[in-house]
Amino acid sequence: MTTSDRTTALVLRWVAVYTRSLDPEIAARRQAELASDLWEQCAHARRVGAADSMVALSILRRAVAGVPADLRWRQHQLAVARGRPRWQPRWQLSSTRTRALARTWWLVLAALFIPLYGFGAVGIMNFDTSTDSWWPKLWYTGALGMIVSAVLIAAGILARRWARATGDVLIAIGALPLTVSIAALEDSVLRVVAAATLLVTIVAFLDAADARSLAGRANSARRWLLAAATAAAATVAGLGMARAHAAPVVVLSVMSGITLLAVLAIVGYRHRRRPT
């Protein structure tokens, strides 16, 4: 049994839970539609040769993101069955702009990190033109790591329009350095920012998995681009933090975190289920 088979079974169990005690015909329809949807997604993934782990992540993300709608739908069906007036939500996101923002909130958040990293890099360098030279101070303070992160996020947002998964992974790699150094941060505001970067990293990675589960054969140039971006981010972040006298555990966590994410992403590009 593959990972996507197990995920499919898990989702179908969830469907059985939230359709319990509903009208049998309505429950059966929802269960059958979900069974068909999950089968079609797995079949499509097999046709395009997508990695099984990416398909499983995509299915899991779709299920988890749909839980509030599942519960509202159940509530509505129960209300109708009891003869109560049709249940109406208290509010709906009817504005097109609001709905668009709801769909892309994490990209907006990621875009905010670009100036934040830029200002942060300038701030931590505390550059004095009379005594300081640029290059050593970029290394010494770790500002270069922040600049590389900002560039990776910007490149990811731009690349996403043409290569969604690649753009997502670039964003995730760019957001990761601050995420993995959260334990070393003392400022509460910075901790909030680090938590936001963690959120962006997770969502970007899940979005990349979703894109990989849909896409056809991976472009090897993109794989090399991701590997190069990962190497750049891990090296700059790790060395920069080491030069800034960060604790070894922080340096190691930054480098290993970035590498782990990249390995997962690149594995998603390389290991594919054999089309059947």
Partner 1 sequence: MRRKPGTLLLLEVDILDAGLALRRDGTSSVHGFQLAKAIADRADTRAALTAHGTLYKALSRMEAAGLLTSTWEDPNLAAADGRPRRRLYQVTGAGERALAAWQAQHPKASAPPRPAAGPGPA
Q: Is 33 in the site for partner 1 (CB under 8 A)?
A: yes
Distance CA 92, CA 192 (A): 29
| Under rule CB under 8 A, residue 28 binds partner 1 | no
Interface size with partner 1, residues (CB under 8 A): 53
35 binds partner 1 (CB under 8 A): yes
Provide the minimum distance between the beta carbon of 266 and partner 1 in the complex, in angstroms, as a whole number: 20
Distances (CA, A) of 224 to 146, 155, 177, 191, 205: 22, 15, 20, 32, 18
Q: What value, to the nearest 5°, has the Cα angle with vertex 123 and ends 122 and 124? A: 100
Q: Is 23 in the site for partner 1 (CB under 8 A)?
A: no
Comparing C-alpha atoms, which of 26, 35, 117, 115 is closest to residue 74? 26
| Binding window for partner 1 (CB under 8 A); candidates: 55-63, 108-116, 133-141, 173-181 | 55-63
Window of 27-35, 116-124, 140-148, 243-251 that interacts with partner 1 by CB under 8 A? 27-35
Whose tokens are 């947002």? That residue is 157
Q: Looking at residues 66 to 105 of the shown chain, list those that interact with partner 1 (rule: CB under 8 A).
A: 66-73, 88, 90-96, 99-100, 103-104
Separation of first and last alpha carbons in the chain: 15
CA separation for the pair 217, 154 (Å, rounded): 25
For partner 1, which stretch binds (CB under 8 A), given 64-72, 113-121, 233-241, 253-261? 64-72
Kindly state whether residue 109 participates in binding partner 1, applying the rule CB under 8 A: no
CB nearer to partner 1: pick between 29 and 122: 29
Cβ-based nearer residue to partner 1, 31 or 235: 31
Which residue in 8, 169, 170, 210 binds partner 1 (CB under 8 A)?
A: 210
Q: Is 164 in the site for partner 1 (CB under 8 A)?
A: yes
Angle 190-193-197 from CA coordinates, rounded to 5°: 135
User: Which positions from 129 to 158 touch partner 1 by CB under 8 A, shown as an x/- string?
Assistant: ------------------------------
Distance CA 156, CA 117 (A): 15
Q: Who's near 268: CB < 8 A, 6+ residues apart? A: 51, 53, 54, 165, 208, 209, 212
Give me the helices (H) in 126-219, please.
Answer: 134-141, 143-159, 164-180, 188-214
Least distance (Å) between residue 110 CB and partner 1: 14
Residues 6+ apart with CB under 8 A from 137: 125, 127, 143
Q: Is 30 in the site for partner 1 (CB under 8 A)?
A: yes
Footprint on this chain of partner 1 (rule: CB under 8 A): 11, 29-30, 32-37, 39-41, 43-44, 47-48, 58, 61-73, 88, 90-96, 99-100, 103-104, 160-161, 164, 206-207, 210-211, 213-216
